[in-house]
Structure 1
Amino acid sequence: MNIEKARFNMIEQQIRPWNVLDKDILDMLIVVKRENYFPDEQKSLAFFDTELPLPGGATAMCPRVEARIVQELALKKNESVLLLGAASGYLAALLAHMTRHVTVMEASAELKALAEKNLADNGVRNVSVLHANGLTTAHTGTYDVIVVAGGLEAMPEHLQKQLNIGGRLLAIAGALPVMRANVVTRVSESGFSSRTAFDTVIAPLSGSVPASQFKF
């Protein structure tokens, strides 16, 4: 298999057609090697437009969704990021490439260990991976960007309150057959704006619970 040809096809045939046109992001997809975040038997599949299985029944998002998430957030080099859901560590690596620091909360000890190893093996130093359920753990501090890397029924309000003013929160919420990626921006101490970025379907976030258990 020609890895670089497969990467080129992934970008040109999957990611560009999904309206990911930011040159910095397209260039980053060449530099941050997606195949390095999957075992040998999955490396050839890392460029396919499909979710890939991970330990414990989890799945990794398909490449076009990961790239679109990064584009929608308009990341800056001085920003801090909170990522809920580690998966293989690849999305954390993309976010880390474009920001100052990424804190990952992962409910599965197995996925935490996998992501930490992959990130270390690829020389990514500005990511901390914590064994914690980001939806239920008491948070301290605030962030410029929050990403929920898994499906939710609805958005827990407490995550919005963890944003700095000007900060953005992206989560994919809803139920089959259509889920929507929503971006919430904190515009003031008590004000928030929201927009729908794109429609997709992804697996539930590890450790998520029904929306009825949250207060809105």
Structure 2
Amino acid sequence: MNDTTGGSRADARENRRRLLSAATTAVAERGLDISALDIAQAAGVGVGTLYRRFGTKEALLDDVVLALYDEVLDAADECRAIPDAWEALSSFVFELAKAHRDSRGLAEVTAACDRPVNAEIQRRTQALQEAVRQMTDAAHAAGELRPDVTWQDVILSTRAALETDHCLGVDAGPDGWRRVIGLLLDGMRVPARRLEPPTPAVVDDERTPER
């Protein structure tokens, strides 16, 4: 009799990988309000396979969100290692803003952290808060950040990137959110340390609504 155990385990690992990949994509594009059937179909497996591999849809989504949090924590560690305090802080603001834009589900979770959450998510949330506190304190100590700007202000500013695509017929373009975050950061910086005013965006006829 042929031993199929190795093959079965490999299939199980592959199905788990495909489910995680499909769920990550679905969470990024649609948020957390997705069905187990939709995830399974996107992964090319039966919904029963999802439950065998993860137990519940919620357990699968928890794994996805925790992985997204870990990516942001890795970015925070990399930014804290930057010697220049302002560059460290501003780099992380851009990283967190991008993470919010890249995953609708992550943006939903970070917006709901004041409610009871998974203990692992809570632990990671506190770790991110502490990282921002440290970078904010360092920027204050370096005389780069306005004294009245708090670490809470810094965190909240990252969500400005979520609503910067279109307004009153004006299209910001794919990287318009970066300009908005840059303007916010410049406003939080000590005036003497600010960069030259950014060049105003060119608004052409196609982006300007007709009157």
TM-score bracket, shorter-length normalisation: under 0.3
TM-score normalised by the chain length of structure 1: 0.28
TM-score normalised by the chain length of structure 2: 0.28
Q: Larger relative contact order (C-alpha < 8 A, sep ≥ 6)?
A: 2
Larger Rg: 2
More helix by proportion, 1 or 2?
2
